[in-house]
Amino acid sequence: MRSTLRPGAVGSAVRRGLVAAAVLALGSTAAVATATSANAAVACKVDYSANEWQGGMSVNLTIQNLGDALNGWTLTFTFPNSSQRVTQGWSATWNQSGNTVTATALDWNRSLPTGGSTNIGFNGSWSGSNPTPTDFKINGVACNGTPQSPSPSPTVSPSVPQSPSPSPSPSVSPSVPQSPTPSPSTSPQQPGQRVDNPYDGADGYVNPDWSASAASEPGGSAVANESTGVWIDRIAAITGGSAGNNSMGVREHLDEAVRQDAANGSKPLTIQFVIYNLPNRDCSALASNGELKISENGLARYKSEYIDVIADIMSDPKYSQLRIVNIIEIDSLPNLVTNTNIPACAEAKNTGAYVQGVQYALDKFSAIPNVYNYIDAGHHGWLGWDSNFGPSAELFASTVRGTAKGFNSVTGFITNTANYSALQEPFFNANTTVNGQTVRQSKWVDWNWYVDELSFAQAFRTKLISLGFPNSIGMLIDTSRNGWGGPNRPTAASTSTDVNTFVNESRVDRRIHAGNWCNQSGAGLGERPKANPAPGIDAYVWIKPPGESDGSSSAIDNDEGKGFDRMCDPTYTGNERNGNNLTGALPNAPVSGHWFSAQFRELLANAYPPLS
């Protein structure tokens, strides 16, 4: 289940330095060279883009191999200013000695074919000035000089690059809202046709397992026919079983979807699966840990016993008229940016297991014409800080570039999966000031650039497009439990002149802390699933089935690999990730994915918009 709902370790540390910091500049440089070594021609291009603020920076580097294939590479460069330091890096082993920085390939990105590229990056600090390095070298060969000798590879002249990289777009800043490029609107399509938005003009699949549980609760019939996600969170779930709330397997759900499709007339039908079983899954939490471990051949098992089997079922021609949406690996890639201080996350990063697993899943599913892939992109309370926002988007871009179809392997991204972040805060935004103070400095907002999920999802989409994704990509937002209605929902902005009081009295998200994520007390059903609800948004969806637990409130033995996380214990006084606050979790909760009647009844009572 959704476990990493708080800013990660990097975000928690770095964002404190953003108290007075807006983005000041975006520096970029590209270096190209061709040369020869004793054994092979080496030619390289390095693009360096720095998103900087006073005293800090987040840098993305794209390394492109224009020469012979490389099996192992080391990038070196020199900071012009002695105060410039690398403080934390990703997708390479980073070292700094004096002004000289070295980044060495990891096992998963050490091989670069001719024309291939990889993205790496780091967070850093500086004082005085932050000039851009210019002396990039790959394996000791300068990437900014005149070709030393002819090469079998196409020679690139520094003055007239053959394939110039587009200039990086400025980072998204909520202080100057950008207008997201809307997904092209489409009229309803006939079943079986590939479409831009798989939700447009389609009915949603109703999971009989979930529907029966919902209908059994008082008042539950009001929502029992809504479409919800089907979570395939272990190998056994592919064939079905009694664990959790899903007794049906993938093929049974698809057979039932075909039946529902035949009964709904000429409209297409969209069915949603959550692909959720990476080795070291949810590496920064316990309640949603999985069955596979990297150290126990988990990546190979993930490919052969999990992805291959699901893809084989979905490719059956009898399902070709369905629109199959796959939500790819909740909480995976962002953990490689924010939580690598946790050993399980460090292992996932250093072995490349998360990146390789996601790429393998995208390759297998994108080969099926009627399957649409949406990658999980966290939520505003996790990635909304500059230190997390840009690096996460860049990691998504580099991961997707490494697939067989590149950017065409994904339809879009999803935010707020199984989380509680409000869709919109109606009474304030990130630009609101109270008595001369920005709401960003309140304890609740904590210098985040976003206060709700819609503004974050639209801005994140804009950032992804600036990194090369086509403007046809769309976003999904999980609104299953972020309604926050009921008697405690504010009806107007606070009149207080104290910024903390103003925010606390005005916000509709009633959690104790935005880092709380497990079975939240007071939550309600959110917007019902709908297509094209806002610019750039393909749909509001219920991927987390309301009433299914996030995790047990005390330790419960189970055979699903799910541990006990104290963030699900209502008596726990918290940690640095939630500001050492109470968790706000409901008591007496079962293991994640199992039916939690008390929670479902509360979600019904607090639904917003209210149930008619």
Residues in the chain: 612
DSSP class of residue 594 equals S
- Tokens in use for 324? 């199959």
Closest to 494 (Cα-Cα) out of 486, 506, 482: 506
What is the signed CA dihedral for 6, 9, 10, 13, rounded to 10 degrees? 100
For 131, list phi and psi in degrees, rounded to 5: -70, 155
- Tokens in use for 34? 């061709």
d(CA 225, CA 227): 7
Peptide bond into 268 cis (omega under 30): no
Question: What is the 3 state secondary structure string of 390-403?
Answer: HHHHHHHHHHHHCC
Closest to 65 (Cα-Cα) out of 43, 89, 47: 43
For 100, list phi and psi in degrees, rounded to 5: -90, 130
Q: Which of 331, 452, 509, 569 is catalytic?
A: 331
Closest to 45 (Cα-Cα) out of 53, 55, 33, 56: 33
Q: Which of 233, 550, 565, 569 is catalytic?
A: 550
Q: What angle do CA 114, 366, 371 make, to 5 degrees?
A: 170
Angle, in degrees to the nearest 10, between helices 353-366 and 343-350: 60
Tokens 């989380």 identify what position? Answer: 419
d(CA 531, CA 608): 18
- Tokens in use for 470? 């086509």
Please, which residues have CB within 8 angstroms of residue 229's CB and are 6 or more apart in sequence? Answer: 272, 273, 274, 327, 541, 542, 543, 544, 545
CB distance 511 to 446 below 8 Å: no
- Is 316 noted as a catalytic residue in this protein? no
- Tokens in use for 274? 């959550």
Q: Which residues pair with 528 in a beta bridge?
A: none
DSSP class of residue 414 equals E
- Is 331 noted as a catalytic residue in this protein? yes
d(CA 556, CA 563): 8
Catalytic residues: 331, 550
